[in-house]
Chain A
Amino acid sequence: MTTTAVHGGARNAVGDSLTMIGRSIRLSRRNVDTLVMSIVLPLLMMSLFVYVFGGAINTGTRYINYVVPGIILLCTGYGAASTAMSVTDDMTSGMIDRLRSLPIRSSAVLTGHVVASVTRNLLSTTLVIGAAIAMGFRPDATVTDWMQVAGLLLLYVLALSWLAAGLGVIAKSVESASTLSFLMLFLPYLSSAFVPTNTMPTFLHAVSEHQPITPVIETVRGLLTGTPIGTIGWIALAWCVGLLTCSFTFATWLFRRRTRG
């Protein structure tokens, strides 16, 4: 009997992650629920806000120009929720034991889920922007603006995906993973995503000004509509980097703790 496997260096770590990324992407492509969540839902949300609510909301500009960043972030929340559920699915099925009994770095498992999550979000974001343009969205952004938007959103999605992975590790069942993800779905509504925050009661107004989604949305909106963003961009960046650092540390620590035995 020969043993082909050895616990290896950085090359193996990258290889393991790539294998796990391939797996997670294949699984999300074949999982109809996740696909619907990442493709149909953004389009529905978009139509709902633009055609149903939009007419009655006064934002001082055309509503579609106002709402696109909010839809993108809302969909990111839904994407993250399905990431949390698929992580929980792995953690609660025998799959995690099988993967752990292999000579691989355990972080590869979460990396696979996170990268697949970012990929799904990339797809849904592209779709939202495409559909928005078809519905009359006219961004006024330079190439540099677009690149900044892409960079900030990528950072935000990455942070949220690691947070979701962490929640997925905590959750004891797929149902509770979905419940834990509720906050990520709810926060966009308490921000300037869909309506200007100045009509909110003082308390809510304070909440919306001091949560990560408002600065990210204001930055993306400013960049896309070509209005100056001032220091809000740096606040958004700080939120994203902070959130990413915390959620990455939190998720990997939890994963090690849960799988240590």
Chain B
Amino acid sequence: MIVEATGLHKAFGSTKVLDGVDLHVAEGTVFALLGPNGAGKTTAIRILTTLLRPDLGSVRIAGYDVVREAAKVRSVISMTGQFVALDDQQTGRENLVMIGRLMHMGRPAARRRATDLLERFDLVDAMNRRVRTYSGGMRRRLDLAMSLVSQPRVIFLDEPTTGLDPSSRTTMWDAIRDLVSSGTTIVLTTQYLEEADRLADRIMLINGGRVAASGTTDALKSQVGGDRLDLRFAVVADVARAAALLDALRGTDPLVLGIPSDGSAEHLHKVLDDLRLAGVPVVKVSSHQPTLDDVFLSLTTTDRTSIQV
């Protein structure tokens, strides 16, 4: 485990922000910390990256303790914060070279590294322009490039795509996948389920400073049950007749019934045949696979539940 955190507690004044969080990340994987605003994601990341001391608990990154060996930890990690940290009045290239120099690279090495990264993040055309002229997507890319100057083993990304348009978001995702394929470990926070679903090997859901659930994406989805068929009827009377026939769940929509399903075609046939024999017309059928949204909603609305998968 390249990141090992146990029993993290942090309070600001009387507000408990983290209330006993354990977190383990295997080298070369993507770990997503998922939660609503104010769940404690950023605080957790700041502790993991030596920027904040935990009140209780310990963190080791690549074997180094974040409090006692902060300098060593800093030499193996990099952090990209929630808000882009760039000098607007410097060019993209100057920003990168500056970081290289602060990593104690020689000037030629820092310049070479800057050029490599500019190429990799498709910023060569803009490299001699001041950053204030960059678009949102370009700024995020440069920001990520800034954290890669040092070739870190673990990269922390705090909400890497918040506020980006869909196409910039896809570009960011590709860049993150690229990093993983070169063996880098990534710990990211996000409030987008889709992002966690697409990128992460393991997800930890936190809410109110506690771990609500953690595990692989598939394991988390199976927590909220299997597939479901949603049947839509034309009139409420039909809904009642169908509900008497089938083992059904009622949702918020009075014209829709949810039927637990194993997802097979055979089950779908049987349900529709039963309804036809009983003379209940179905207007529409849709099959519903559990999404992380379901997990998210079911766990963040009842906040004392804790599931370990």
Contact = CB atoms under 8 A, between A and B. Distances in A.
B52 to A, nearest CB: 4
A2 B151 contact: yes
B79 A12 contact: no
B: contact size bracket: 35 or more
Contacts of B153: 1, 3
A102 B83 contact: no
A31 B90 CA distance: 10
Interface majority SS on B: helix, strand, loop or mixed? loop
Contact of A103 (B46, B75, B84, B184): B75
Given A19-B102, A261-B52, A7 B71 contact: yes
Given A26-B90, A97-B85, A4 B103 contact: yes
A26 B98 CA distance: 11
Contacts of B216: none
Interface string A1-14: 11111111000100
A125 B51 CA distance: 40
B198 to A, nearest CB: 24
B102 A94 contact: no
B285 interface: no
Contacts, number: 101
Interface string A76-107: 00000000000000000111011111111000
B74 A102 contact: yes
Contacts of B276: none
A23 B51 CA distance: 23
B20 interface: no
Contacts of B50: 100-101, 261
A101 B79 contact: yes
A19 B79 contact: no
Contact of A5 (B84, B90, B103, B184): B103
Given A23-B98, A26-B90, A27-B90, A6 B104 contact: yes
Contact of B85 (A6, A16, A95, A260): A95
B77 A4 contact: no
A55 B83 CA distance: 53
Given A261-B51, A261-B53, A97 B79 contact: yes
A30 B89 contact: yes
A98 B101 contact: no
A15 interface: yes
B102 A3 contact: no
Contacts of A98: 79, 81, 85, 99, 146-147
Interface in B71-121: 71-72, 74-79, 81-87, 89-90, 94, 98-99, 101-105, 109
The 4 closest A-B pairs by CB, nearest first: A94-B85, A261-B52, A98-B85, A7-B71
Given A27-B87, A95-B85, 9 more contacts: A5-B74, A7-B74, A12-B104, A19-B102, A97-B81, A98-B146, A101-B77, A102-B102, A261-B53
Interface of B: 46, 49-53, 71-72, 74-79, 81-87, 89-90, 94, 98-99, 101-105, 109, 130, 146-147, 150-153, 183-184
Interface of A: 1-8, 12, 15-16, 19-20, 22-23, 26-27, 30-31, 93-95, 97-104, 260-261
